[in-house]
């Protein structure tokens, strides 16, 4: 069971947080293979041209999903990390704002894009990534996550934005 391969680290990065660590899943070849297969399966007939993934753990899983789908891969990064001309979107955090970027020429108008990340919590970063992708004309077909923290509402927020969200493991109560 995939859930059993995910380590929980209490009080990280601050007291009261239960950090869900996928590095233990990634280190288990069978679990990693299973996770990629399960993240890929809903989209095998969806004609996905590009997988976009959010840094940093999302890159690991997203690149594997892109490979399995025979699709291109686009990294979505925090501001200032990409070397070429970028497009960006800022979004609200619990305290303050953050900005994510991608290369302006990474996705063309009309491309069918799947968004991947390791975890969905409140959905703020995922919704910002959807906004970023749509701003360059991408058709965001769906989003996939290894972990969902359903009590924080991120998957519901994506569904409300018209995005099908697929997760492999849930941790209620986060």
Read off the pLDDT of residues 101-154 as tens digits, 9 standing for 90 and up.
Answer: 999 999 999 999 999 999 999 999 999 999 999 999 999 999 999 999 999 999
Is residue 17 assigned to a domain? no
How far is Cα 32 from Cα 14, in angstroms, rounded to an integer? 28
Residue indicated by tokens 């291109």: 72
| 57 given a catalytic annotation | yes
Across 39-67, b (16+ Cβ under 10 Å) vs e yields bbeebeeeebbbbbbbeebbbbbbbbbbe
pLDDT at position 95, please?
74
Does pTM surpass 0.85?
A: yes
In a domain, 3, yes or no: no
Task: Report if residue 56 sits inside a domain.
Answer: yes
29 found inside a domain: no
Q: The CATH number of the domain where 54 resides is what?
A: 3.40.50.2020
Query: Does residue 131 fall inside a structural domain?
Result: yes
**Does some domain include residue 61?**
yes
Residues 7, 20, 77, 94: which is the catalytic one?
94
Is pLDDT above 80 for 88? yes
Print the domain residue range for 136: 47-170
- 112 catalytically annotated: no
Write down the pLDDT at residue 23.
Answer: 97
pLDDT (mean) for 44-63: 97
Active-site residue among 20, 57, 101, 111? 57
- CA-CA distance, 148 to 3, in Å (whole number)? 11
Could you tell me if residue 10 is inside a domain? Answer: no
Instruction: Establish if 8 belongs to a structural domain.
Output: no
- The tally of domains found in the chain comes to 1
Phi, psi of 24 (to 5 degrees): -70, -35
């Amino acid at each position: 069971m995939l859930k059993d391969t995910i380590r929980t680290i209490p009080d990280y990065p601050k007291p009261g947080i239960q950090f869900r660590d996928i590095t233990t899943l990634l280190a288990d070849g069978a679990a990693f293979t299973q996770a990629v297969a399960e993240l890929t399966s809903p989209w095998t007939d969806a004609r996905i041209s590009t997988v976009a993934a959010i840094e940093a753990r999302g890159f690991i899983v997203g690149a594997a999903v892109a490979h399995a789908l025979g699709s291109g891969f686009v990294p979505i990064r925090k501001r200032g990390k990409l070397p070429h001309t970028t497009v960006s979107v800022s979004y609200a955090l619990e305290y303050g704002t953050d900005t994510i970027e991608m290369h302006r020429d990474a996705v063309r108008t009309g491309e069918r894009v799947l968004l991947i990340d390791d975890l969905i919590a409140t959905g703020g970063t995922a919704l910002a990534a959807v906004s970023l992708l749509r701003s360059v004309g991408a058709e965001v077909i769906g989003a996939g996550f290894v972990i969902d923290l359903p009590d924080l509402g991120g998957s519901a927020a994506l569904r409300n934005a018209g995005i099908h969200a697929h997760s492999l493991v849930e941790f209620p109560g986060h």
